[in-house]
Amino acid sequence: MTGTIAGLASITPASGFVGPLEALVIGAVAGILCQEAVNLVRNKLRIDDTLDVFAVHGVGGIFGTIMIAALGHGAWVAQLGALVIVGVFTFVITLALVKLVALVTPIRVDLETETNGLDLAAHGERAYDFMS
């Protein structure tokens, strides 16, 4: 499933600029690239990326944007410049939103709640009873 979503996320930026054969190549390479990004983020960097959003959509989108220039349908300066602008904008807005939310409610739960599970803390019951 991750490879399929990665292919779709990667071809989205390039979809108006490439043909079907180029789209298949971008999707195939993106599937492998994004799966490796998932392994890196999850296993090596140990970042909790829920649903692998950055590893699939972020890396896939970046790859698709770069492929526009690599396949000769866009200027390198324009593509890389757009990636920098979008990256900085996204980082700044995300940081501002995290700080804003942190003023209202805690971003993280305590270690005990995380260990016991959020279902038990929030709802007073376990979603899955593995002991029976």
pTM of the model: 0.80
What pLDDT does residue 65 have?
95
Pick the residue with more confidence: 115 or 131?
115
Model confidence over 73-127: pLDDT tens digits?
Answer: 889 999 999 999 999 999 999 999 999 999 999 888 888 888 888 888 888 887 7
Residues 61/13, Cβ–Cβ less than 8 Å:
yes
pLDDT band at 132 (very low <50, low <70, confident <90, very high): low
Q: Where are the alpha helices (DSSP H) in 15-128?
A: 20-39, 53, 59-70, 76-104, 111-116, 118-123
